Amino acid sequence: MNKFAIVCLDNNPICIEQFQEELVHFSDCFDLYCIESLDDATQTIDFITGQKQTVALFVASHHSALHGADYLIELEKSPNTKKSHKILVLSDEKDLPAMLNTVNEGRLDHCLTKPLASNVLYSIAKKELTKFVIEQDKKNLLFYSQTLDSKTLLDTHISQSMKNYRQGFLTNYHDLSDEQLAEDVIIALYHFFEKEDETKACRTYSKNHVLTREGTENRFLWFISNGEVALYKKDEHGTEREVVRHSKGNLVGGMSFVTGEPSFSTAVTLTKTHVIKLDREVFAKVMHSNSELLPLFTNLLLRHFNRRLQRSINTKLQLEETLESLESAQNELIEKEKMAVLGQLVAGVAHELNNPIAAIAHQASKITSALQSILNTQQSGVENEMYPSFAELFQKGSSSTPISTVEQRTKVNELNNELNNRTLSKKIVRLQLEQNKQVTTKAKTYPKQSLAELSELEHYTQLGESLRSIKVCSGRIAQMVKSLKTYARKDTEKRQLSNIQEGIDDTLVIFESKLQRHDIVKKYHKIPEIYEWGNSLQQVWTNLISNAIDALEDNKGLIEISTHLTEIDNSDYIKVSVADSGVGIAPEKLDHVFELNFTTKKEGNFGLGIGLSICQQIVHRHDGWMDIKSTLGKGTTVSAYLPVKQS
């Protein structure tokens, strides 16, 4: 449980959800309560008070059915919530009198009007919470620095620390520059040691003299009055590396001198250096002997520690940025290598399939021509005037689209009611002769003879249907080979004109086996071709479609792919969206989906995608951006925006 709480009041579930999504970022330092009525608000305030918590921020909506403005006025009158910061959210500009009344009768820190733009509430809340903790929790400002405005809190913390010292025994030394302050300390110290210097505190060292040794005890504080000193730190391999240099006015060994801990680094003079060497006994004697030197030196020591803290923070930030950059580069290289290998495999498969496909198609054509010539001869043994010729049956079988099994079953049942012979009925329907009265009459009168004749004719229809199947299958495989070749074409460093919709269709072919059990809806609008880097965008479509399939899990679902032109800031963009009806993504995870190595997949479940982080980089390279919307249990929509005019 945190020390402070945030309370949101709104009876609209959609608004509450938006409040939660934006205010959940503060949950590490503040407990969040969302309520829907004034009665619930009162009970929640009582509960928070009973928990010995304090309401830091109260966000209240106001409209005809929920008088949030009046409630904020009541909060101002209560000693438990008087210091809370308050934000009023109006549903309509007509509610302005309510806002004015709140301002007049109670303290209102901010007022917003619905609909709220994305992250507006988050930004205002961050600012107000920062102000609140500065007012109410000055001792723990650094605790909130990772969640709230770190710069303001750090500046306030440093300022407050300085103020506390000044209130005790510092006067106007904070107005001095570092150089002037150091000069004043040097003059004061040398003036002190002019009278007595039993320990020979004022010393001069030649180049390469060691002042402190890393990991060993240090009993001295070294004040540099002239010259230059470098600090060295050993890395994990034991190699000493320079970390910082100090010159006139700087302190060496300050941290270990104050805390008694071993020296953090090794200090070595780089030039002839003048120092004032103080042990604890001499330091105490000097500070107590001169009332003016104590505030001077204390101020200088505080600035030294402050500079060290700032350097540590800046170094940490730089290291984090460098690490993120290296991780990003490493992941991109890995994913490029994976896609390159996939491309080689796909290209090889396409090449190997192409030759036998061509042979099948060629032989099917030759067989068709040869059989057509043979079947054009006059048939014998079957009455020509009643039945179609062999050539006609073969032609019908090789060119007609087969009827569905449901339709075929219906026709057989209808004919069987007349013939009372299911075998004959099936053959007549198979040959599409159910409308031929001569055939059906003969079948009813002479069933055995008709069965023999129809069985002979069925061979030619079957032959045509088999050849048709060969043609259809070889054509389908040829289409897949074309898509594979397109998908696996070599990536280049040059942009080439690309049709986005064709790229998506080629990608869908790759996933055809996985998509058979789902419904695919394509809503393509007319869009122009754009220039893309190699086939990198196709890798994006691969990832989005793969993620959509994974989101459906084992359930039959819907995947909708849409493309259309949209205008944003007076510029034309192509918007490509892939939506699924899958499990959705939890709100607390939604802000992290574009981070490196982040995944919502279960352990052991790996998709074919290259990760949304790399997808976003690819789209950024094309001067575009991506966004994602998701509702838990209802589905997810990922969109990519690509400018028509690219730089």
pLDDT, tens digit, for every residue of 536-586? 787 788 889 888 988 887 788 899 999 999 999 999 999 999 999 998 988
pLDDT of residue 381: 53
Q: Distance (Å, rounded) from C-alpha 460 to C-alpha 389?
A: 10
**What is the pLDDT of the chain when averaged over all its residues?**
80
502 band by pLDDT with thresholds 50, 70 and 90 = confident
Find out whether 247 and 224 touch, Cβ atoms under 8 Å. yes
Whether residue 106 is predicted with pLDDT greater than 90 in this model: the reply is no
Cis omega (within 30 of 0) for bond into 388? no
Band the pLDDT of 528: cuts 50, 70, 90.
very high
Lowest average pLDDT, out of 189-193, 377-381, 397-401, goes to 377-381
Q: Work out the pLDDT band at 237, boundaries 50, 70, 90.
A: confident
Query: Which string of DSSP letters, residue by residue, matches 222-240?
Result: EEEEES-EEEEEE-TTS-E
List the single range of 267-271, 472-476, 570-574 with lowest mean pLDDT. Answer: 472-476
Identify the pLDDT of residue 492.
54
Give me the percent of the chain exceeding a pLDDT of 70. 78
With bands split at pLDDT 50, 70 and 90, how would you rate the model's confidence at 640? very high
Q: What are the C-alpha distances in Å from 330 to residues 154, 246, 542, 610, 614?
A: 34, 37, 21, 13, 11
CA gap 186, 89 in Å, rounded: 59
What pLDDT is attached to residue 35? 92
Question: For 37-46, 364-373, 425-434, which range has the lowest pLDDT when averaged over its residues?
Answer: 364-373
- Residue 580: phi and psi, rounded to 5, are -130, 160
- The type of residue at 228 is E
pLDDT at 476: 63
Query: Within 10 Å of residue 261's Cβ, how many Cβ atoms?
Result: 11
Q: Residue 593 to residues 203, 329, 340, 586: CA-CA distances in angstroms?
A: 60, 18, 24, 11
pLDDT, position 414: 87
- Residues 6 or more apart whose CB falls under 8 angstroms from that of 548 comprise 559, 578, 579, 580, 582, 636
- Per-residue pLDDT for 605 more than 50? no
- Nearest by Cα to 529 from 567, 555, 577, 496: 496
Over residues 141-156, mean pLDDT:
89
Question: Which is nearest to 211 in space by CA: 265, 162, 158, 170?
Answer: 265
Percent of the chain with pLDDT over 90: 20
Mean per-residue pLDDT, 443-465 = 81
Whether the model pTM is above 0.85: no
**pLDDT of amino acid 73:** 83
Closest listed residue to residue 602, CA positions, set 550, 637, 559: 550
Q: What is the pLDDT of residues 25-58, one digit of tens each?
A: 999 999 999 998 989 989 999 999 999 999 999 9
- β-strands 54-63, 85-90 pairing: parallel
Per mean pLDDT, which range of 76-85, 168-177, 186-195 is the poorest? 168-177
pLDDT digits (tens, 9 = 90+) for 296-326: 777 777 777 777 778 778 878 888 888 887 7
C-alpha dihedral sign at 612, 614, 619, 624: positive
Min mean pLDDT across 44-58, 115-129, 189-203 is at 189-203
Residue entry with tokens 């790229």? 503
Q: What is the pLDDT of residue 576?
A: 96
**Distance of alpha carbon 287 from alpha carbon 290, whole angstroms:** 6
Residue (of 577, 506, 503) closest to 536 by Cα position: 503
Q: What is the predicted pLDDT for the residue at 493?
A: 53
Whether the per-residue pLDDT at 219 is higher than 60: the answer is: yes
Give the per-residue pLDDT at 609: 40
Please, which pLDDT band fits residue 168 given cuts at 50, 70 and 90?
Answer: very low
